[in-house]
Amino acid sequence: MPCIREEKDMKRNKQILSGLTLIGFFVLMALAAPWLAPHDPNTTNLALKNGPPTAEYPLGCDQLGRCELSRLLYGARYSLGLSVPVLIALAAFSLFAGSYASYRGGIWDGAVRIFCDIFMAFPLIVIAMALVSTIDNSVASIIVAIGISMTAWFLRMVRSYAKTECGKEYMESARIAGASELRVVVRHLIPNVFPQFVVYFTTGIATAIIAVSGFAFLGVGLIAGTPEWGAMLNEARNSIYTNPGLIVYPGICLIICCAGFNLLGEGLRDTIGKEGESHVP
């Protein structure tokens, strides 16, 4: 039995390590894009239209003669840059708001529940289209749409876990000891909700990356020609037979990048689940 447990632990560690490795690769790719890219990603040269891979253009050129490798490198900046910072801010807000509302109960908890029910009833694309039609077709519309949908999702998760934690003895002990509501939430409730929440946060990033690329593919939010993976897939539709690499390269980047976050989430879920079996606050 110890051998089986050790084997499972190794598998979990491999998942976490693999996820972190893939994430680190794409983060480095995004940060170092200006130095790694051999050419400006927006410079066109019709003489090199759909050009094959060469020493100067390692992955060839697209339908407008732009360097495909340079556009892939800069694409990581858009896919990660439009999702990760937004998700971090939303996660911090949702973790506090969901925990506090669950602890207070009453109208606070009811407001969170209604907010989640309303905005989780609409697909993300519907919210985005509504914002684009009422505001404008800009990056801000994408960020707000993702923000509303992911906040509702995060709040629902936090509220569920916080409700369970609020009924445990350590919470009652903190109240009896005279701790203020804010102290109970910040010092006791949030630290015990966070380990479970972080699993959904990592998979939420993968969801946001897919959403950003999906909007870009549909031409929502980003300016035409932006070197973003979803936009690159959209532009390459007509070249699928003449230059299939234009579809394959950004598609692989999307799959591997999202797989990294999902692997990390799976590994964390298994690890936290195991710890939860042997530890009760």
- CA–CA separation, 9 and 15 (whole Å): 10
- Whether residue 43 is contained in a domain is answered as no
Task: Provide CB contacts within 8 A for 164, sequence distance 6+.
Answer: none
- Whether residue 53 is contained in a domain is answered as no
- Whether residue 18 is contained in a domain is answered as yes
For position 125, what pLDDT does the model report?
74
For position 11, what pLDDT does the model report?
55
- Whether residue 175 is contained in a domain is answered as yes
For position 2, what pLDDT does the model report?
45
For position 278, what pLDDT does the model report?
40
- Which candidate, 98, 119, 269, 246, places its Cα nearest to that of 199? 269
- Whether residue 211 is contained in a domain is answered as yes
- Which candidate, 238, 239, 222, 242, places its Cα nearest to that of 230? 222
For position 116, what pLDDT does the model report?
87
**What is the domain range of residue 113?**
2-33+67-278
- Whether residue 123 is contained in a domain is answered as yes
Tell me the pLDDT tens digit for each residue of 101-144: 988 888 888 898 898 888 888 777 777 777 777 766 677 777 88
In which residue ranges of the chain is pLDDT below 50?
1-6, 10, 276-281
For position 273, what pLDDT does the model report?
59
- Whether residue 237 is contained in a domain is answered as yes
Report the amino acid identity of residue 56.
E
pTM for the whole structure: 0.83
- Whether residue 71 is contained in a domain is answered as yes
Residue 125 is encoded by which pair of tokens?
Answer: 């694309």
Report the amino acid identity of residue 6.
E
Number of domains in the chain: 1
Task: For residue 95, count CB atoms less than 10 angstroms from its CB and return exposed for 0-12, middle for 13-18, buried for 19 or more.
Answer: buried
Domain with 108 in it: what CATH number? Answer: 1.10.3720.10
